[in-house]
Amino acid sequence: MADLSHFPITARWPARHPDRIQLYSLPTPNGVKVSIALEELGLPYEPHTIDIGRNETWTPEFLSLNPNGKIPAIIDPDGPGGKPLGLFESGAILLYLAEKTGRLLPADPALRIETIQWVFFQMAAVGPMFGQLGYFHKFAGREIEDKRPLRRYVDESKRLLGVLETRLAGRAWIMGDDYSIADISLLGWVRNINGFYEAGELVEFGKLKEVPRWLEAGLARPAVQRGLTIPARP
């Protein structure tokens, strides 16, 4: 039985199954990356709901695992060398899980780094830009009279969707025939454009062909359907 007691976060969110990966998350576009990956890989894990609406990511216990105060984060009781490992940043967690299992990431060195490149594309561009679009279109930013910020993020989000549209032409998935962590990193964010952010018309999502096809195929995967609802919302 793994001893995770030296991780302060387990005092607030106790591990009932300490031999399983502990997931601290919420089903946001970043959070579902990890739950989807865990479901795809079939790794045993225990989810803990972190209520960001109640600022639980800013508690001392959560900050002890992720000093940046963001979900998701994990503890793997069977990390490198068999020692428990705490990890934050969704892209890093995806890469870690793929390398741990030897799945969802090509073994060929060139294809491996190309896959990671697309994960970085999501982390550096798609996530931040789509998130700002959501803020200025649906949340507090919509009250700002000056619409130039909204216009900037609409235009940039359209451009990024165009990059994906070009990449997916003639490919089933981001890396071709093989579904990978690149797809997992992007699915939740692209889904949010039409869904939670209600911005599909703004970014002219209906004019795209390849991205909607890819999104539909991704959302049809049973592991994706399960991962999108884990952990349960408060």
- Could you give the CA distance from residue 139 to residue 9 in angstroms, rounded to a whole number? 30
Statement: 109-221 belongs to CATH 1.20.1050.10 = yes
Q: Can you read off the two tokens belonging to residue 74?
A: 């994990």
Look at residue 232 in the predicted model and tell me its pLDDT. Answer: 94
**Separation of alpha carbons 46 and 16, rounded Å:** 8
Report the pLDDT value the prediction gives residue 1, as an integer from 0 to 100.
73
| Cα–Cα distance for residue pair 226/62, rounded to 1 Å | 25
Q: By the 8 A CB rule, do 58 and 9 touch?
A: no
Q: What pLDDT is stored for residue 147 in this prediction? A: 94
Architecture of the domain whose range is 8-103: 3-Layer(aba) Sandwich (3.40)
Instruction: Give the position of tokens 């984060």.
Output: 73
Which regions of 45-130 does DSSP assign to beta strands (E)? Answer: 45-49, 73-76, 85-88
Q: Is 193 exposed, middle or buried (0-12, 13-18, 19+ CB in 10 A)?
A: buried
Residue 51 makes CB contacts below 8 A (sequence gap 6+) with: 26, 234
Q: What is the pTM of this model?
A: 0.96
Integer Cα distance of 228 and 148 in angstroms: 33
Boundaries of every domain in the chain: 8-103, 109-221
Cα–Cα distance between 11 and 14 in angstroms, integer? 6
Percent of the chain with pLDDT over 90: 97
Q: What is the pLDDT of residue 2?
A: 84
Helix residue ranges, H only, 21-89: 31-41, 60-63
The three-class DSSP label of residue 215 is helix
What is the three-class DSSP state of 19?
A: coil
| Residue ranges, the chain, pLDDT below 70 | none
pLDDT digit string (tens) for 179-234? 999 999 999 999 999 899 999 999 999 999 999 999 999 999 999 999 999 999 98
What pLDDT is stored for residue 221 in this prediction?
98
